[in-house]
A = this chain, B = another copy of it.
Amino acid sequence: MTLIKSWVDSANDPNGPFPVNNLPFGVFSNGGAPRCCTAIGDKVLDLHALEQAGLLPESGFDQPALNTFMEKGPKAWADVRAKLTDLLSEGSDKAEEVTKALHDREKVTMHLPFKVAEYTDFYAGKQHAFNVGTMFRGPENALPPNWLHIPIGYNGRASTVVVSGTDVRRPVGQTKAPDADAPGFGPCKRLDIELEMGAVVGQPSQMGEPISVDRADEMIFGYVLLNDWSARDLQAWEYQPLGPFQAKAFATSIGPWVVTKAALEPFRVSTPEREKPLLPYIQDTGPMLYDIDLSVTMAPDGGEPTTITRTNYREMYYSAAQQLAHHASSGCKMNVGDLLGSGTISGPEKDSFGSLLELTWGGKEPVTLDGGQTRSFIEDGDTLTLHGHAQGEGYRIGFGDCAGKIVPAPKFG
């Protein structure tokens, strides 16, 4: 696969995120009601306008969320993608009509791309699990005994999933110093990111009906960048015995663009070799991870961003399809709009870890930003931004940035 050339000039930049090969889906507004769009070069394309002009089938693009379109299923997704490819490729005879539905990307407001039905976060990066386990239990007992058999996950909070650009308030909560008699209550002091990919479920399953890994892969509509903000001090005190709760509940940021499985098809890669055989219901049936370069930048208030880590989605031990098949295995019904966080994506080297907890090794080895400031964890005013793209031959599939700025904690309690 090489670059598909477009009559939209900016879509032909080999380092640009949004060529015709990509065509991610999102929701935008420019004064009026939010509606569905795709990105092409430095423009967004109003899909509802194309629908009204008869250039696309009626697909629910007037809605302020992609859920209606996702419900229509893989055939509809492929059909719309094929039509958009025709409309935007060099030589299209509809360029004049389509131009009317283009808006400068810099001038529009992007919204949460879909209504999040439920949010589940996994723990499927082995290096991350090993790092965190080493810090808490030592390297011999780092991986829990179930880790190589189960894509470990827990239910997160959907109500606080927000789109890139939304400020995030520093959470407050209970923490307890190891030597203190009793816990205290106040602003989080160890605020962190988790660099993840989010898989967006586009088709439902039935209650009581497990699904195969292949079916799970078919049900996934696409992928977003995802930052699972984490309050490490709240987490350490609350998480036994039932898992993270308020430490993760205050916010999860996702990118504005859902990159479709179709756009990512050329970048499929296999999961790493299995250290223990998987049970048949979650065995790999083909390459279901993707080669996606990821990085995170950190910028102090008013300062320039510094890249603090670089890694790749292919580092995961379990694919989203395996996670989804496991999620439904008990008979749990999955719905359109369910969001599955991959788990923190850490590479093998220290500069490829996906959280500050790992990058600063529990806060003991601060990172230095380009201006000379150091950080163990996130300070008020800092902006954290996730970046991601798949690198093709002469083109890129970009995800659009996933950014969030931390604002001071509320006064309370």
Contacts and interface: CB of A to CB of B under 8 A. Distances in A.
Range of interface residues on chain A? 35 or more
Task: Please indicate which of the listed interface residues A123, A153, A172, A333 has the most CB atoms of chain B within 10 Å of its own CB.
Answer: A333
26 contacts: A118-B118, A118-B157, A144-B240, A146-B174, A146-B176, A146-B237, A146-B240, A150-B174, A154-B154, A154-B245, A155-B156, A157-B332, A160-B332, A169-B208, A171-B331, A182-B276, A185-B280, A210-B410, A246-B329, A246-B332, A247-B330, A249-B330, A249-B332, A250-B330, A281-B413, A329-B413
Given A155-B156, A174-B150, A242-B154, A281 B250 contact: no
Contact of A331 (B184, B251, B281): B251
B243 A242 contact: yes
A155 to B, nearest CB: 4
A183 B279 contact: yes
Interface in A221-279: 231, 234, 237-247, 249-251, 276-277, 279
Contacts of A234: 330
Contacts of A243: 154, 239, 241-244
Interface string A172-190: 1110100000111100000
B208 A279 contact: no
A238 to B, nearest CB: 6
Interface in A112-162: 117-118, 123, 144, 146, 149-150, 152-160, 162
Task: Please indicate which of the listed interface residues A117, A154, A184 has the most CB atoms of chain B within 10 Å of its own CB.
Answer: A154
Contacts of A172: 210, 329-331
A173 B332 CA distance: 11
A387 interface: no
A35 interface: no
Given A183-B149, A208-B169, A208-B250, A335 B159 contact: yes
Contact of A155 (B157, B326, B333): B157
Contacts of A326: 246
A246 B330 contact: yes
A104 interface: no
A231 B159 contact: no
Contacts of A333: 159-160
A330 B146 contact: no
Q: Copies per complex?
A: 2
A249 to B, nearest CB: 4
Contacts of A405: none
Contacts of A160: 207, 331-333
Contacts of A152: 238, 241-242, 245
B207 A159 contact: yes
A330 B171 contact: yes
A210 B157 contact: no
A396 interface: no
Nearest to A181: B276
A205 to B, nearest CB: 9
Contacts of A173: 329-330
A42 B333 CA distance: 34
Nearest to A247: B330
Contact of A250 (B240, B280, B332): B332
A331 B169 contact: yes
Given A118-B118, A123-B242, A239-B241, 13 more contacts: A118-B158, A144-B240, A146-B183, A150-B238, A153-B242, A169-B208, A169-B331, A184-B279, A207-B251, A242-B244, A243-B244, A280-B413, A329-B413
A58 interface: no
Nearest to A413: B281
